[in-house]
Amino acid sequence: MRNLALKRIQRMQPYKPPLDGRSAYGGMLLDFNEKTKPMQSKIVRALEKFVRSQKLQVYPEYFDLEKRIADYAGVMVNQVMITNGSDQGIDIIFRTFAEKGDTVIIPSPSFAMFYQCAHVIGNEIICPLYKKDDLAFPFEEVLRSLDEQTKLIVVCNPNSPTGTAVSTANIEKIVQKAKSAIVYVDEAYFEFSKITAVPLIKKYPNIIITRTFSKAFGLASLRIGYVIARTEYIAEMLKVRGPYDVNMAAYYSACAALEDRKSMECYVNEVIKKAKPLVEKFFDDFSIPYFQSSANFILFRPDNPKNVMKLLGLGGALVRSQNKQNIENTLRVSIGTVAQMEKFIRIYKKAILRNTKQKYAFLDRDGTLIYEPQDTYQIDSLKKLKILNGVIAGLQELKKRGYALIMISNQDGLGTSSFPQKSFEAPQEKMLRIFRSQGITFDQIFICPHVPNDGCNCRKPKTGLVDKFLRNVNRYKKLSFVCGDRDSDRQFAENIGITFIPMKTNGNFHEAIKSFLTNT
């Protein structure tokens, strides 16, 4: 039988996300940016009440839902249209405002539904690429791509899968140039980013926004979203949407979710202010490259991403592969609660880091990283603290090359009356703050507080401080090293079986390590 489907449809591939087996998976679903907690009891009670009402056979009626959404979004009720998920909103916008052959601009990579809708209609698609280095929005390229043939510009804000946000100021500049086109802003992750183009609708008639209840509100399986636009455009889009496209289970759930916004906001705060920084610090500490995100997910680029995704899945955490242009070899992890992300980190360490050889730089402190006074061997005041030449550049180079940084230092009599703990902590914390401000974090810090006569097992060159640590890591011995200014540092390197890089006391750290890095 001859295929009677349109030729452009025959040429398409279906959008087929990797859903198989997810519902039966026993671990954490961190692959689709869903809410990671069950829906709150108020929503469950609303659904139960609806089912008990014995009205499943009755066509939907939406009562005041659009008014509730309008109040939440800060617009008028006739500026809102509810949809069957924001996916339907995307479809309606494309079908209402673009025809076959029209040019649409979709900064890429981005959400697959944008391309699917454009291909179904037969649009000519222009795809300015997000910047390769930091995945910044291609603002200048979008402006250059605009011409009189452009009918629709898509701005996914924050963008999925990159997490990149674009400022409302730049959206306004796009709107000002695209006077004869619709600027469509997808705000699926608005609750997490708090960035919105809604205030621009009062000034510019050609802005249309979609949002969803699938992400922060956690109603993904019920499929409900909404469109915000000028009244006249809502009226046009209602001609395209069916009268019964949103089901009543979704209606009652959305009403309950809006009544219980405090629960949503608590969840968002935990995700953005606590859980996401936890994961970012983990990635920083273990030199796992990632991109800054304004949403509830992080795009990261581990070594051997295919294997990492497999091992994480086996360990109890599903993540999603993203292998599109400019984000090749990346994975995306959704951010959940603090407890969930602590578990993710434990799984990552056990499944991947323990089986991956890591390069370690064991660094002496006084005389190597900071100035060591000659009258005393203690940096016991802020006044004495001085970062040595080449330290910032050297540490940044080590982090760039994937080294884990380990500080190890003998601090004679630390905690005694002659060298109180607080005298050590003030300059130590300031030093670490300076390093952090330059993107430098230490993976471990080991301090021996004893004097030589104590006969401890932890004073360099002895290895007691690091014995347990070394038993639990997989060192790349050939590329790991100790850098210090004393013979005890040399002996320590010999005792743990790695290279020693000598440095003159209070010398230039970067110069000291340069030869080793060049030759490895």
Compute the C-alpha angle 39/43/49, nearest 5°: 140
Q: What are phi and psi of 409, to 5 degrees?
A: -150, 140
Say which DSSP state 56 is in: T
Residues 105-124: b if buried by 16+ CB within 10 A, e if exposed = bbbbbbbbbbbbbbbbbebe
Residue 483 and residue 517 in contact, taking contact as beta carbons nearer than 8 Å: no
pLDDT for position 278: 95
- Does 375 score more than 70 pLDDT? no
Number of H helices, E strands in the chain: 19, 17
Q: Is the confidence at residue 83, as pLDDT, over 70?
A: yes
pLDDT 10s digits, 27-57: 999 999 999 999 889 999 999 999 999 999 9
Tens digit of each residue's pLDDT (9 = 90 or more) over 189-243: 999 999 999 999 999 999 999 999 999 999 999 999 999 999 999 999 999 999 9
3-state SS class at 326: coil
Q: Could you give all domains of the chain from N- to C-terminal order, each with its CATH number?
A: 41-259 (3.40.640.10), 269-355 (3.90.1150.10), 360-519 (3.40.50.1000)
What's the pLDDT tens digit per position in 350-363? 888 877 778 999 99
Q: Give tens-digit pLDDT for 462-507.
A: 999 999 999 888 788 889 999 999 999 999 999 999 999 999 999 9
- For position 21, what pLDDT does the model report? 81
Asked whether the predicted pLDDT for residue 389 surpasses 90, the reply is: yes
Task: Report the candidate in 255, 223, 238 with the shortest Cα–Cα distance to residue 72.
Answer: 255
For residue 510, name the pLDDT band (cuts at 50, 70, 90). Answer: very high
- Residue pair 299/161 in contact (Cβ under 8 Å)? The answer is yes
Q: 79 pLDDT band (50/70/90 cuts)?
A: very high
**pLDDT for 285:** 75
Measured at the alpha carbon of residue 440, what is the angle toward residues 439 and 446, in degrees to the nearest 5? 155
Q: Is the pLDDT of residue 287 over 80?
A: no
pLDDT on residue 514? 93
pLDDT of residue 472: 80
For the chain, how are helix, strand and coil distributed in percent, rounded to 5?
40, 15, 45
Task: Say which range, 17-26, 174-183, 271-280, 358-367, has the weakest mean pLDDT.
Answer: 17-26
Mean pLDDT in the chain?
Answer: 94
Q: What SS3 class is residue 410? A: strand
How far, CA to CA in Å, does 14 sit from each of 4, 110, 119?
17, 16, 11
What is the value of pTM for the model shown? 0.75
Comparing 515 with 224, the larger pLDDT belongs to 224
pLDDT computed for residue 376 by the predictor: 62
pLDDT of 518 reads: 87
- What is the rounded average pLDDT of the residues 246-254? 97
Is the pLDDT confidence value at 154 over 80? yes
Mean pLDDT of 148-166: 97
